[in-house]
Amino acid sequence: MNRLGVNLRVVAALGRRSVRQTFRRPQLFAPILVFPTLLLAIQTGGAGGAIELEGFPQVNGFLDFMLAGAMVQACLLAGNSGGIALAVDLEMGFTDRLFAAPISRFAIVAGRLAGTAALGAVTAVWFIAIGLIFGATIEGGVAGAILVLALVALSAMAFGGIGAAVALYAGRASVVQGLFPLVFVILFLSDAFFPANLMLEPAGTIAEYNPLSLIVDGIRELVVGGLDAGAVAEALAAIALIGGLSIALSAVALRRRLRLGA
Amino acid sequence: MRAIEVSGLEREFEGAIRAVDGVDLEVAEGEIYAFLGPNGAGKTTTVRMLTTLLRPTGGRALVAGHDVVDEAAEVRRAIGVALQEAALDPLMTGRELIALQATLHGLVGAEATRRGDALLARVGLAQAADRRVGTYSGGMRRRLDLASALVHEPRVLFLDEPTTGLDPVSRKAIWEEVAALNREGTTVFLTTQYLEEADNLADRVGIIAKGKIVAEGTPASLKAEVGKPHLEIGLADGSAAQAERVCTAFGRRLPEKEGKVLVELEGGAAEVAKVVRALDDAGIAVESLDLVEPTLDDVFVAKTGEHLEGDIEQAPAAAEAG
C-alpha cells in the first residue's frame, strides 16, 4: 500500500476511534447531544411566542427556526469535546504511540477531525429526526436534509480544528474545557437562537458579522425556506474561513509540540 | 551492522537543563541492552530521542542503520515502542488497540487480524481481548503494550521501564516474554530502575547518572570491576576471633556486620567449600553462611557515590500511589 493509502486508512481508523471514544465516555457525549437537545426543548417550549414578534422571519414554527441553532451548538460542543479528547490523549501519552508510528503526523489531527465531522453528521440526523417527530418540516426536502447533514459535518470539523489547536498548544484537557463558556458567548452573539435584526445593539451588529451566523443561516434556510444556493454558498465560505484558520493553527501547534518534544 | 549507534547524544531543555549529556553507546543486533539509572537520570529522554519522539540538541544516533533526525520515518518502520506508564486508551478493547496499531504500520485485512490474534494469544490476553483496557490489571496492560509494539515485527524493540509498578509475578512474565523475543532475534533496548531486571535480562548494561553513562559492560564484568564475592559467617558466641584467624587465609577480612564475620574470597565463590572445611577442622560451629556477590548497586555506588536502591525501593509504591 502506498503512503497516501496508509495515511487515509489511519485517518479513518482514528476517526472511528474518536467516535467510539465519544460514545463510551458520557462526559464527551453529553455536551454534544444531550445539552443541545435540552436547550432546544426548553427554548422551544418557553419562548415559542417569539415568532409573533414584528420582524421575526417567516417560519412554520419556532422549532423549525431553532433546529439550525441546536445543530450548530452541537457542532461547537463536538469540536470542544474533540479537543478535550485529544488533550487527554496527550496527557496520558497515547499520542506518543501515534507519533512513534511511520505515518504523517498530521494524520493524527486529521483522524480526530474526521471523527468530529462524523459526530456532527450524527447530530444532524438526530436533530432532523427530532424536528420531524415534533412537527417541523424540512422545506429543502431530501436534498435539503442531505445538504444540512453535509454543512453540519463540515462545521463540526471546522470547530474541531479550534479544539485541536488549543489541545495541541496547551496539552491539557482542563485548558480546552475552559473554552466551554466561550462557546455559549459566541453562540448567543450570533443569530443561532434569535434573529440578529431583533437584538439590541451592539449584539445585533456583532451577530450580523459573526461568521457563525452565516453557517446558521445556511442551515436554517434549508429547513425553513428551501434550497437556496446563495445561503449554502455563504455558509460554506464561513466554514472554509473558520476551518482554514483552525486547521492551519492546529498544524502550527502540532509542529511546535513535535519540535519541543512536549 | 549495529542495531543502535549513538555518539555524543545530547538533549538540553529550556533553562539550560541538560537531561542527556554526551551519551555514547552501541547495541549489537540481537542483544538485550539495559539502561539502568534512577529517576531523572536521562533514561527516558534518551529513549524518546532514539524513538524519534524528541529531537536531540547535539550528537548523532542511528537506529537500525537510520539517522533518528534525517531518516525518522525509516527508524519508525524498524522499531517497536512500549513506553513508560503503558499509554493505553482505557476505553478501547485490547483487540481494537492491536488493530489500530496494525493500521498504523500499514497492515490490513486478514494479515492484520491474524497477527493481532496471534500476539494476543502469545501474551495471554486472548480471553480478555474484547474487554476494555480500563478493566485490565497493570500486568495485563504491560503485556498488551508489549504485544502492540510487536505487531509489525520490529527489528529493534524499545521498552521504557516495562515492569515499573508491577508485582513480582507480572514482572517475571514480562521478563520471560522479552527473553523469548530476544531468542527469536529481536534486539531489545530497555530502561529500568530495577537492578534485578538488568542483571537477569540484559546481555550488557549501561549505567546512567545525571545524563552521562558512568559504566557499561556485561553485568558480570561490571560487578567484577568493583570487588570479589564475600562470605558472611554467623557464629556461636565466643568463636568470632578464632574464625577470623581461620578465614584470613582465604582473603581480606571485611568489617564485622550484625555480629557476623565477613571475609572477601580472593579465589571467588569456588573457595566456599574450603572455608567451610577449615572452620569445621578448627571446631568452629557455624550457624549461618551467606555468599554475597557484588551487585550492580555496588557498581553504581562505586561510580557515582550514591545508592540506586533508594529509588528502586520507592518506585513501586510511587507507581501505586500515582
Q: What is the mean pLDDT of residues B181-198?
A: 89
Going by C-alpha positions, the residue among B81, B83, B84 that lies closest to residue B68 is B81
Residue, of A9 and B270, whose pLDDT is higher: A9
Residues on chain A touching B76 (C-beta within 8 angstroms): 100-102
- List, in order, residues 6 or more apart from B309 with CB less than 8 Å away: B195, B297
How would you class B236 by CB atoms within 10 Å of its CB: exposed for 0-12, middle for 13-18, buried for 19 or more?
exposed
d(CA B63, CA B33): 14
Extract the C-alpha cell encoding B51. 524513538
Cβ of B87 and A92 within 8 Å? yes
User: Within 13 A of B16's CA, how many CA atoms are on the CB side?
Assistant: 0
Q: Are B189 and B33 in contact (CB under 8 A)?
A: yes
Is the backbone of residue B294 left (phi > 0), alpha (psi -120 to 50) or beta?
beta
pLDDT band at A142 (very low <50, low <70, confident <90, very high): very high
Residue B311 has pLDDT above 60, yes or no: no
Residue B275, H or E segment: helix B272-281
Lowest mean pLDDT among A63-67, A112-116, B13-17, B57-61: B13-17
Residues on chain B touching A261 (C-beta within 8 angstroms): 48, 53-55
Angle at A215 between CA A209 and CA A221, to 5 degrees: 110
Q: Are A164 and A109 in contact (CB under 8 A)?
A: yes
Residue B196 has pLDDT above 80, yes or no: yes
Lowest mean pLDDT among A248-257, B115-124, B160-169: B160-169
Residue of B nearest to A105 (CA): B73
Residues on chain B touching A98 (C-beta within 8 angstroms): 104
Lowest mean pLDDT among A56-70, A142-156, B65-79, B227-241: B227-241
Q: State residue B321's pLDDT score.
A: 32
Q: Are B52 and B6 in contact (CB under 8 A)?
A: no
Residue of A nearest to B68 (CA): A100
Among B73, B79, B108, the residue with its CB nearest the CB of A9 is B108
Q: Give the strand pairing for B212-217 and B66-67.
A: unpaired
Interface residue of A19, A95, A97, A256 to substitute, partner B, most B CBs within 10 Å: A97
Lowest mean pLDDT among A74-83, A175-184, A202-211, B290-299: B290-299
d(CA A97, CA A10): 13
Q: State residue B285's pLDDT score.
A: 85
Q: Are A75 and A152 in contact (CB under 8 A)?
A: yes
Q: Are B142 and B173 in contact (CB under 8 A)?
A: no
Q: Are A223 and A64 in contact (CB under 8 A)?
A: yes
Q: What is the mean pLDDT of residues B167-187?
A: 88
Distance from CA of B113 to the nearest CA of A (A): 14
Q: How many domains does chain A have?
A: 1
Residues making up chain A, counted from first to last: 262
Quote the DSSP letter at residue B269.
G
Residue of B nearest to A262 (CA): B54
Upstream peptide bond of A26 is cis (omega within 30 degrees of 0): no
Q: State residue A179's pLDDT score.
A: 84
Cβ of B88 and A94 within 8 Å? yes
Strand, helix or coil at B313?
A: helix
Q: State residue A262's pLDDT score.
A: 57
- Exposure string of A80-102, with b = 16+ CB inside 10 Å and e = fewer, is bbbbbbbbbbbebbbbbbbbbbb
Residue B193 has pLDDT above 50, yes or no: yes
Residues on chain B touching A96 (C-beta within 8 angstroms): 53, 81, 83, 87
Among B85, B89, B104, the residue with its CB nearest the CB of A103 is B104
Q: Give the strand pairing for B156-160 and B79-82.
A: parallel
Residue A251 has pLDDT above 90, yes or no: yes
Q: State residue B97's pLDDT score.
A: 94
Residues on chain A touching B100 (C-beta within 8 angstroms): 13-14, 17
Strand, helix or coil at B45?
A: helix
Quote the DSSP letter at residue B93.
B
B205-227 pLDDT, tens digit per residue, is 999 988 999 889 988 888 887 77
Going by C-alpha positions, the residue among B252, B254, B288, B282 that lies closest to residue B267 is B252
A35-77 pLDDT, tens digit per residue, is 899 989 998 887 777 777 777 778 788 899 999 999 999 999 9
pTM for this predicted structure:
0.83
The rounded mean pLDDT for chain A is 90
Extract the C-alpha cell encoding A101. 508510528
- DSSP line for B174-228: HHHHHHHHHHTT-EEEEEES-HHHHHHH-SEEEEEETTEEEEEE-HHHHHHHH--
Extract the C-alpha cell encoding A250. 492546529
d(CA B70, CA B55): 10
Residues on chain B touching A20 (C-beta within 8 angstroms): 91-92, 96
Extract the C-alpha cell encoding B140. 495485563
Q: Which domain holds residue A99?
A: 2-260
- Contact pairs from chain A to chain B, CB under 8 Å: 74
d(CA B140, CA B128): 9
Residue of A nearest to B106 (CA): A6
Residue B76 has pLDDT above 90, yes or no: yes
Say what the ipTM of the complex is: 0.86
The rounded mean pLDDT for chain B is 86
